[in-house]
Structures are given as C-alpha cells and as structure tokens.
Structure 1
C-alpha cells in the first residue's frame, strides 16, 4: 500500500508540473504559427531537449529494458537504431527541411512537388503514423497504472489523453515545447538514479539468491513464485521438464492441481495461475531464448531472425527521418544551421539515456524471471526496484520510475497529438486556431478508442511498426525530394501508396495473427526490409516514366533547400498562409532582396 501511495504521489506531481509548464508556455500562444511551429523561435539546445523528451516514449522508457530481459543481445538493435536514426536525419534532412519553410510534412510535399494530390496522400499517412505511434503510449500508461495500483488499464490511458489534450488545447507547439524539454531531464533522472542505486546493490551482493547470467543453462526461479496470465493467451516453451501447480486452462483443458510439463510448447488461457517452486526452470514465452547461452549470443534463431533484425535496422535507422512528430520540431528552429545543430545535440542526449534501460534489462533477468512466463516484460522497469530493494528505499525508487514513465507517455503523446492535429486542421479544415483545437479533441478520442480495441503487445514492437511505416513513406519522399530533381508528384504518390499500403496490410495481418495463434512470419511483423526498397524503387521508376511532370521551378526550389542560410532564400509558408499583414509584408521584402542577390 505504501508503494502505491508513493507512486501515485509521484505521478500526480508529474501531472501538476506538466499543467503548470503548459500554462506558462501557452500564455503568449494566440496565432496559428504559435500553435503549429512556435513562431520558429526555439533555440537549438532547448529544441534538442524537447525533441529528446518527445522521442523517448514508452518504447524507450519501458520496453527497451523489457526486450533486453526477454531477447538479450538481439534487443540492443532497438536503442542503437532509435539513436542512429538521428545521424541520417542530421546528414540528409534536417537543414534542407527547415529551409523549405514548410510547417507540416504534407506542406513540404506540396511545396516541393507542386501538387495537392501528394499533399492529400501525405496527410493520410501522417495521421496513420501518428495514431499508430500514439496507441502504445496510452496502452503503456494503462500497464503502468495497473502495475503500481491494480486499477483497470483503461484508466491510465484515459488520464494521459485528458492531460495531453488540455495542454495542447492551451497553446499547441508553443505550450508543449517547455513541457517536453523539462520532461527529458525528468525522464533522464527517473531512469538514471534508480539504475545507479540498483547497480550498487547488485555489486554489493551479486549472487544474492539469483542464477548467474554466465550460466549457459535454462533460466530458473531464485525463489517460489506464483504467476498469473492476465489479458491475452500465452504460448510458453519448456526446454527442461518440471512439475508445477496450475489452476486454469492449458492447451484447452482445465487443470487444478499438480501438472507435469515435458519438453514442448504449451498454450495458457487468461486467468491461468501457476505456482513454481524455487529452482524450477522458467517456461519462456515462445519466440524468446530459453537458455542464458542463447540470450547472450546474437542471431541464434536462424534465417528468420536474421531477416527480422535487418528489417528492424531499416525501420529504425530510416524511419526517424520520416516521423511527423519529430520532423515538425525541426520546423520550429530559426534556420537550417540551428536545425542541424539541434539534431547533433539530440544524438548526445539519446545516447546518454539509452545506457540505463539496457542495464535495467540485465538486472531484470536476474531478479524478475517470472515476467518471461507471461511475456509482460514491459513491467520490468516498474517492478525491479522493489524486487531488489524490498523496503522503503525500493518504494521510493519505484515511485521515481513510475513518475518518469508517465512523463514519457505525456511528452511523446503531446508531440503526436500536435503533429496529427496540425495536419488535420490545415489540410482538412481551414487551419484556424479553432480548427486546431477541434482536431486535437478528435485525435485524442480516436487514439484512446484504438488503444482499447487493439491488442496490447510490447510497445517497442508496435513503435517499430510505426518506424517501418515512416521509413516506407516519408523517408524516400524526403530523401528523393531533397536530393533528386527528377522526382515527380506522380512518382511520389505511387511510392507512398505502395510502401505505406504494404506496411499497413502487414500490420493488419499481424493483428489477425495475434488473435489466431501468432502464426505471422518475421517479414510480416517487421516488413521494412522489403517495403523501404520497394518504395524507393517505385518513386524512381514512376518518376522517370512521368518526367514531364517534374515541377518547372524545381531548380529554384532545390536552391532554396540547399543554399546557405545567410543568402535569405527561406520562405516561411506558415507566415504566407497564416501570418499577419505585417509579417507577410516582411516575407515579401525578404523574397525580393533574395531575388536581387541572385541577379
């Protein structure tokens, strides 16, 4: 009970600070450019902290450690890919994108290709990526609240949705920038401080009732454990025979008493309760390593696992440059140089953060093997402090982690809601402040509805599918649009439809597979290895076949994207569309002076 009070108090404190900072940031937000791009006046260092706070989602705070616990060395590609994606963004996209003067991804596509059709298709995929990324944030919020209080999972998602919508309604991008910058440092403290303390505890007594990871055998329970299958059926693999007590359903048959399990795979229905004795081998959810040797060695699953790893690399390395909620933050920089500097700072901040969940994942392997039975490994970070320090200190550390987790949900959800609402309000509605606020409410309602309907999986897996969709749509659009003058709007539309359509189809098949026995192969659950080259090839081939559709002003547009900032070629399209008469006059004067310099 004390642990619950500590954790709830920390979560309430995070919510209160979020409201306060949102209010401070929204006091001067009253125009459309304020809500969309914060008047393009955010300094590079603050913007980098805001991007990092927004980017470090449930997948980073909870699931990276959970995947390390479950999958071992192979899971390290997630933090590596999440961070390295900013290197590609820094090299190829950040500065030219800011110099385009766009305020959303669809606005960039129309400005570059001169077609409203590509803008409409881009709008569709921005909404898809935003909602697909937003759902695991809300589901993970429910998991966090359930883990620390036992309350229903839907309540956590609803709380996050309400807080985010209220903050975004108050001031859009201008309001959430300060919130996200603060929340990065809050999340860093919330993950780093417990990691340092728990690692010191581990060094003080490394063999305290646990099985060394250096042991190549199967994982074993250090003490007697009772494990309950919660929401979804689970298939577990047993590599060493054991006897346990079961109350529930195994392979469709009811059981209530001692059960012997030989080597093989067993399906457990929700509500099944298992009691294991100390020293019993741990049944591991199917698809994960059952021995410590496989856990510490990469690529032990054969060709299928190798394909999945390369698909993950494609998705995370290339998907970052296509995430709408990340790119919209680069529009808030004053110029292209500041955008490039922002991306460089983000690399430092993310690299520092991802050290800590990796350590927590290894410690969880020692102290929380029961999570391997249900596959509910996202809860490892929340449960580990009390598992290693079962006293008041552990409760306080658990409260700090819970506060950091809620900060992760709030900051990422805020950015996603702003990016989706900005596109909906400017591309489907007239684009006024009132329209942005209605779009914010609509986005929140759709996201929470999807969070209730869709099955919950590891947040990193769902987020990786969002990366795959971004890598298969906006990555080729941006790279080719910025660096190849031969791209046409017909080629762009075809590439978006082919790449994005295949990913969405794979996601539908993956969801059906989740409900019907998880039969989908690796290239379905993570299709980026196929879809990214397919999207690039489609855009190039169709553009060459329709080369007459190349915009007549393509040279002028590319000059604007690549010319150094002091030459003054930047055209801020948010001012051209939504600015005041005085701002539009200044923009027109800048355009004339830029034209004079080119003559």
Structure 2
C-alpha cells in the first residue's frame, strides 16, 4: 500500500502541476475579454474536439461507467451509449446554429432570440444551478479516488481540485482551459488504454482463470418488471441524449470555433474521440466484475477501476497501473470542473458585472462556494447516478427551450418561461420523490427516471402557451433564424447584394 500511495500521489501531483503550468502559459496569451470567454474564437476543430472530450468525460465517465457495470452488469452500458449519442443530437440540431449566433453564453443566445430581461435572468439562474449540480460529483469523485489509492483523508481530494481549478480559470479563462482540457483528454485516454493493454496481454499469455466469470456481467436483472426495465433504459438514454443539449459548459465550447462549418467538424471528431474512450471503461468494468465480484455488493462500486490493477498484477506493475488510473481520474475531475467554472463565471460576469474580466474572475470564485458545501452532504450518491440526475434536469428545463429557440419560429417569451419553469420544477420534484420516498416496481422507476415523460410534457406546455397566448414572436424572428441557419458564405453574399 505504501508504494501504491507514493506512486498515486506522484501521478496526481504530475497532473496538477501540468495543469497549473498550462494556466501560466494561458495567462501570457489571454489579454482580451474574448480570450477569457471564447478564446477569441480561433480554436481549431481537433483542439476543440479534444477539449470538449476532456471536459465532458467527467467523474461519471472515468470511474462511474465501470462502477455501474459492477453494480448492474450490461445495464450500465447504456450510460456511455447515451453520453455519446448526446453529441449526435448536438451535431444534427445545435452545433452550427449555436456558433453562428455569435453569443458568449446561453443567456446571450436567449437574448438574441427574445428581448426579455426576465427570460435571460431565468436562463442564467438555471445555467448556474446546473453547473453547481455538476461540480458536486467531480468533488465527490476526487474524494473517492484520493482516499482509495492513498488512504489520505477524503476531504483533501476536493481541496486539490479547487486549488488547481481556480488559478487555471482565473489566470487565463477559456484560452487556458482549452489547452489544459485537450491535454487532459489524452492523458485520461492513456490512463485507461495502458491498463487495458496490460490486461489483454495477460489474457494472451494464457492466464484465463477468470474468463468464464465474465458471463456474470450479463446475468444481472435490474428490476423484476420487464416493462419497468424497458422504461428505465429508454428514459435514461433520452435524458443523456437531450441533457447534453442543455449543458452550458459543453455548448459554450461551440462559440470558440471560427465558424459554423468548423463547429460541425469539431462535433464529428468529438464523436470519434468519445467512442474510442468509452470502449475502455466498458471493457475494464466487465473485467472488474469478474475479478472483484465482492465489490458488486459494496456500498459504492465507483472504486472498481482503482482496485482492478492491484487485483490483477502484483508488485511494481500493479502499483504503477493504479497510479496511472488515479492520475487519469484526477485529470477527469479537473477538466470537467474547469469547464463548469468557466461556464458559470461567464454567466455571472455577463449578468452582474457587465461582462468584464474582473467579473469573470469573481464568478469563478462564486462558482465553487455551494458545491463545496453540498459535496459533503451527497457522498453516498454513485457518481454516474448523480450525473444522470443532472442530465435529467437539463433535458427537462434547458434543452427543449434551446431546441425550440433554434428551430421553431412560433416560440414566444411566455412559452419559453413556462417551459423552463415547468421543466425545472417537475424534473427536480420527480427526482426528489424518487430518491426520498420508498416505491416499488414501475412506480419507483417512473420517478427516478422521469425524462421520458417530463420532456414531452415541457414541449407541450411550451408550444401551447406560445400558440394560445396573446404575445407573438418578436418582429425580428425571421432575421435571427436566418442568422442561425444560413451558412456564413451565403450570409456574406446576401450582405454584399444588399
């Protein structure tokens, strides 16, 4: 354990030092407001795709997917499927129009579509609340990883994340974070790929004692009711797919592309990066279920990847692989938390500090206050389960309004307000009831995974209020939609003709 702790601390320290050095580099290059908010919109597709993958692959992706497979067998495979499919939704419906909007934040997008201060403030509140909710699992993941690999007090994990993330964001804003997250993606990929290669080589050497037990991953019945199981799967995938559309820290990335075409190329590259990454925790999760069957009944299965190397390899090899996984886990926590803090900081600065760099830095500090407190109260939630709740909230509150604002001319301010409020209230209410009240069978699943009914309900409410209300869409609606959907060369030629 002593060698494991030493190597794990070294790997975690290396990740933190590299992140801080990148932030110092970003400080020298970030000179304007555009640098802080959108890296002057000069991020090439391959860099942006790596950065988005870096911040999107959070604690739930790095540790949580394998933990879910440990607990629920192949039912846990639907999480990476839903996570990846979410960017297919972005590619088809959101990526290019969002970049063409020219906005810095989601509230900016709403202000472009509607001249309503109330709608802008409500959007900002939901964005900040969502960011807070999403930071909490990152802090909990850091506590789990540090304690499991080094034996140090769990509270040091969140403290390390905060100490590294705040200087990174405050010093260089989006420009610093972009480079750091791109590097962290490739580190995370390596941190899972190398142990996977070692395991495959061991299998190839003929040590196959545990191979028959891999069938355990396919023998878990999640719920007794087949209809409840089907509902859970479909609702979960719907939440993960649509929830991605409502994640502000992901959407803001598309503002950093030079134009709409590069935003689409970024998303295509991103799909490849995510598919390549998610293959690894799925493989390792199935192997962990065979090698560590006792962990399946433990209070938390999120430590499966951290325990797997030492269970398969003795001595220095196991210690080094464990350290590599621990370092990759911290790269996941740091990259996602950085993106969330940038997103929250941008909104706070725009709404309350006139969009200044000083306001951005104040927003970065405020972004960490509530999560620090809440993280200590939610340590018993599984990482992937906690993130799925955030996706359900965004899929119900922000995603329908963002999609309708981009694609439906008939959306009005009262309709958007009604939809956001309805989605936020019913999704949070259902999730709280589902996790605090004891239900059985389909009733419990109905409340714990509500996206399949909350999203259609929000769409109906939004469209009915917009269609039946007295207020009409703004007079400039056609011009705004043309700005969102016409490719840049077409808009430029129209401008010259006029």
Matched-pair contact (CA < 8 Å) for 1:299–1:306: no
Pick one of 380, 386, 399 that aligns with 1:462: 386
Q: Deviations over 1:447-468 (max 9, x none)?
A: 2111112243111111111111
The match for 1:217 is: none
Deviation at 1:510, TM superposition (A): 4.6
Map 1:280-299 onto structure 2 (within 5 A): 294-295=219-220
The match for 2:138 is: 137
- In structure 2, relative to structure 1, the CA distance for the partners of 1:548 and 1:483 (3 Å cut) is same
The match for 1:421 is: 345
Deviation at 1:412, TM superposition (A): 0.5
SS at match of 2:256: coil
- In structure 2, relative to structure 1, the CA distance for the partners of 1:499 and 1:384 (3 Å cut) is same
Matched-pair contact (CA < 8 Å) for 1:311–1:528: yes
The match for 2:188 is: 187
Distance in 1 (CA, whole Å) between partners of 2:420 and 2:316 is 53
Deviation at 1:476, TM superposition (A): 1.1
The match for 1:453 is: 377
Deviation at 1:547, TM superposition (A): 5.8
Deviation at 1:205, TM superposition (A): 4.4
Matched, 1:120 2:121: yes
The match for 1:498 is: 422
The match for 2:83 is: 82
Matched, 1:508 2:432: yes
Deviation at 1:341, TM superposition (A): 0.8
Deviation at 1:373, TM superposition (A): 2.2
- In structure 2, relative to structure 1, the CA distance for the partners of 1:196 and 1:395 (3 Å cut) is same
Matched-pair contact (CA < 8 Å) for 2:217–2:289: no
Matched-pair contact (CA < 8 Å) for 2:416–2:462: yes
Deviation at 1:329, TM superposition (A): 0.4
The match for 1:353 is: 277
Map 1:136-535 onto structure 2 (within 5 A): 136-208=137-209, 212-214=213-215, 294-295=219-220, 301-510=225-434, 512-513=436-437, 521-535=444-458
The match for 2:485 is: 562
- In structure 2, relative to structure 1, the CA distance for the partners of 1:177 and 1:298 (3 Å cut) is same
Matched-pair contact (CA < 8 Å) for 1:513–1:520: no
The match for 2:38 is: 37
Greater alpha carbon shift after TM alignment, 352-361 vs 106-115:
106-115
Matched-pair contact (CA < 8 Å) for 1:201–1:388: no
Deviation at 1:511, TM superposition (A): 5.2
The match for 1:14 is: 15
Which runs of no fewer than 5 residues in structure 1 stay unpaired?
A: 215-290, 570-592
Q: Deviations over 1:18-62 (max 9, x none)?
A: 011111122121322211111111111100100001101011100
The match for 1:551 is: 474
Distance in 2 (CA, whole Å) between partners of 1:394 and 1:517 is 42
Deviation at 1:127, TM superposition (A): 1.1
**What's the TM-score once normalised by structure 1's chain length?**
0.80
Q: Deviations over 1:394-437 (max 9, x none)?
A: 11111111110000000000000100111111113322111111
Matched-pair contact (CA < 8 Å) for 2:225–2:441: no
Give 1 or 2: higher strand fraction: 1
Distance in 1 (CA, whole Å) between partners of 2:265 and 2:5 is 42
SS at match of 2:118: helix
Distance in 2 (CA, whole Å) between partners of 1:146 and 1:112 is 47
Deviation at 1:104, TM superposition (A): 0.3
SS at match of 1:354: helix
SS at match of 2:29: coil
Distance in 2 (CA, whole Å) between partners of 1:174 and 1:518 is 48
- In structure 2, relative to structure 1, the CA distance for the partners of 1:407 and 1:517 (3 Å cut) is farther
- In structure 2, relative to structure 1, the CA distance for the partners of 1:209 and 1:561 (3 Å cut) is closer
Deviation at 1:117, TM superposition (A): 1.4
- In structure 2, relative to structure 1, the CA distance for the partners of 1:341 and 1:400 (3 Å cut) is same
SS at match of 2:364: helix
Matched, 1:107 2:104: no
- In structure 2, relative to structure 1, the CA distance for the partners of 1:520 and 1:390 (3 Å cut) is farther
Matched-pair contact (CA < 8 Å) for 2:72–2:222: no
Deviation at 1:302, TM superposition (A): 2.4
Matched-pair contact (CA < 8 Å) for 1:25–1:177: no
Matched-pair contact (CA < 8 Å) for 2:44–2:257: yes
Which runs of no fewer than 5 residues in structure 2 stay unpaired?
A: none
Deviation at 1:103, TM superposition (A): 0.7
Matched-pair contact (CA < 8 Å) for 1:491–1:540: yes
Matched-pair contact (CA < 8 Å) for 2:431–2:450: no
Aligned residues: 497
Distance in 2 (CA, whole Å) between partners of 1:451 and 1:520 is 28
Q: Deviations over 1:451-506 (max 9, x none)?
A: 11224311111111111111112221122111110000110110000011111223
Distance in 2 (CA, whole Å) between partners of 1:518 and 1:429 is 49
The match for 2:464 is: 541
Computing the radius of gyration from Cα coordinates, the structure with the larger value is: 1
The match for 2:73 is: 72
